[in-house]
Chains A and B, each alone.
Chain A
Amino acid sequence: MRAVRAVFVGLWSLLVGLAITIKHFGRTTILRKKVTEQYPHEKPVMSKAYRSAIKLIRFDETNSHDCVGCKACERICPSFCISVDGDKVDGIRKKRATHFEMDFALCSLCGLCIDACPTDTLEYSKLYEEVGYTRHWKHDLLKDFNAYEAQFVAEQRAREEAEAAEKARAAEEKKAAAAAAKAAKAAEAAKAAEPGAEPVADPAADAAAEEKKKKIEAAMAAKAARLAAKAAATPAPEES
């Protein structure tokens, strides 16, 4: 009797399992619920976090990258797949990268180079169709920038010259102001030295100091508010 019961229980368990299988089978064949992506016809959309080979960021202000060839990424790479070189360019303060190559076949996509970059000019690209035609094929990260390099150098030189001129002008003004203040002070001292004259506080200077203090306080409050806002807002990794 027990054997008969075991047979029926076992048979029932198989039928229950079969019913589930049939349900799933019907879902994909009769209802045609597709779960696969028809790849060459439908291109996938890569998420913001997607990691592919690294690339240099093109900044809007300069229309170029900011790599100074410091080799920080090359040193921290656990796979030793990055090779960078930088050189000094005439008329520009910072060095410029002259060679930036990466062997994607070795890369383990850990992102340590991106964290290590002091100028924040590295990021992941969204390439996913990675095909090489030779065995020792490497990514040349400067490829897109080489054409603009001369233009960038000229613009940067102009920018830095303008900056230097501005700085010189500011220094000159400061110097003049200091000289004027000195003269005023000397005059004040001469006035104070006169017998019977009380040393009077300059009301204008007092007002200026007060204003400056207020300005600093306002700036500090604004900074705190900005930090709080940054903390509250969740920097969302949106789909790109």
Chain B
Amino acid sequence: MPEEIREDDAGAMGESYYLNMGPQHPSMHGVLRLKLRLLGEEIQDAEPVIGYAHRAHEKMAENRIWPMFLPNTSRVDYLSGMIYNLAYCQAIEKMLDIEVPERAQYIRVIVSELNRISSHLLWIATYVMDIGGVTPFLYLWDDREIILDIMDRVTGSRLTYCYGRFGGVTMDVDDLFCEQTSAFLDRLVGRMVEYDKLVRKNVIFIQRSKGVGVIDADTCRQYGVTGPSLRAAGVAYDVRRAEPYGIYDRFDFEVPTLTEGDCLARYDVRVREIEEASKIIRQALRDLPGGLVMPEKPKKKFKPSPGETYFAVESARGHFGMYLVSDGSETPFKIKLRTPSFSNLAAMPKVLRGTMVADTIAIVGSIDIVLPEIDR
């Protein structure tokens, strides 16, 4: 750099430049494209460009009868598909006042929380990989594989479940499922201690994430950031606690909250959420009642009375809402999905401003975005 151009006024002299990150960047979590305006290595402005994985799920719903949207739901967010699938079932049940058997309710909680654990494990694995640690990735996927096997035995699929039906679930669980699940939870306790030593206490990991990408509570409120990112900023908001759906009011669990709001706090919140989810699963397994999971065949065709239904669940990424509008016909008039990743990503330009380009991956990765969920 010539001596007369100082770093301070480089921007004024047109020295800032644009950098495209993605959509095919290996750490960009799918197909996110970030347009960064840089001054040296400092980010002056960031603009997320989305839409590369748009599959028109909401439009698809309008052209088919209500049950035909079921397989789409788990493909909106493929990492916690079960939660989304069951959210749609529960929304329809709320709309039509369908009674769900007790056993099915408990099974739904167990599989949802297993799905949440698998999603968080995957996030930890990929996040550590994003900021340079390859080894934990392999161990965490090993754990996640067990969850997928357990779920595979019951639901018949590993990732994109279509397990829920209006008024129950497709398949009952057996004793082996309960045994395998508790064995997995026991194993996970020891493994989490190991990851704590391997990742959380690692000096490189701490330096890459501590104090980086702080999202304060006000920013979260402005942009509608929910989920672990919000709880890491000190707001104890969890849909399972704020407006309990299903049978979540029967379980004893905490909403882990930290105040720092940086990447490290988001990591800690997720780790503690895995513990809370384990707690919920243990309670559900203990109380699992007998009975049928699907008393009668699910309805094929039905015409809900005209009106609106909103149903929200806590997905692994935050507040997921389903807004169903019926005009009294066999097909939905509109299904709007309020996906948490979209709102979480919306706060990124504000958070990224003023940070270093090397931290971009650490910050964007830490809010756990799933692009197909944003684009839908």
A residues neighboring B (CB under 8 Å)? 9-10, 13-14, 16-17, 20-21, 24, 35, 47-51, 72, 76-79, 108-112, 115-116, 124, 230-232, 234-238
| B109 lies within 8 A of chain A by Cβ | no
A72 and B201 contacting across the interface, CB-CB below 8 Å: no
With CB as the reference atom, state the residue of chain B lying closest to A117.
B297
CB of A54 to closest CB in B, whole Å? 12
| B97 lies within 8 A of chain A by Cβ | no
Contacts of B300 in A (CB 8 A): 72, 76, 115-116
Number of A-B residue pairs having CB atoms within 8 Å of each other in the complex: 99
Contacts of B23 in A (CB 8 A): none
Contacts of A232 in B (CB 8 A): 290
B202 and A13 contacting across the interface, CB-CB below 8 Å: yes
| B40 lies within 8 A of chain A by Cβ | no
Indicate with 1 or 0, residue by residue over B275-295, a CB within 8 angstroms of chain A CB atoms.
Answer: 000000000000000111000
CB of A89 to closest CB in B, whole Å? 26
The residue from A9, A76, A112, A238 contacting B203, defined by CB atoms under 8 A apart: A9
Contacts of B291 in A (CB 8 A): 231
Complex Cα–Cα for A234 and B154 (A): 14
A110 and B175 contacting across the interface, CB-CB below 8 Å: no
A13 and B290 contacting across the interface, CB-CB below 8 Å: no
Contacts of A47 in B (CB 8 A): 152-153, 156
Complex Cα–Cα for A231 and B289 (A): 11
Contacts of A77 in B (CB 8 A): 68
| B257 lies within 8 A of chain A by Cβ | no
With CB as the reference atom, state the residue of chain A lying closest to B288.
A234
| B182 lies within 8 A of chain A by Cβ | no
| B172 lies within 8 A of chain A by Cβ | yes
| B8 lies within 8 A of chain A by Cβ | no
Contacts of B68 in A (CB 8 A): 76-78, 112
Identify the 6 closest CB pairs spanning chains A and B, nearest first: A10-B203, A236-B174, A110-B71, A51-B156, A49-B156, A110-B162
B154 and A78 contacting across the interface, CB-CB below 8 Å: no
CB of B81 to closest CB in A, whole Å? 12
For chain B, residues 108 to 166, give those with C-beta under 8 angstroms from any C-beta of chain A.
135, 139, 142, 152-157, 160, 162, 165
CB of A234 to closest CB in B, whole Å? 6
| B210 lies within 8 A of chain A by Cβ | no
| B170 lies within 8 A of chain A by Cβ | yes
B173 and A237 contacting across the interface, CB-CB below 8 Å: yes
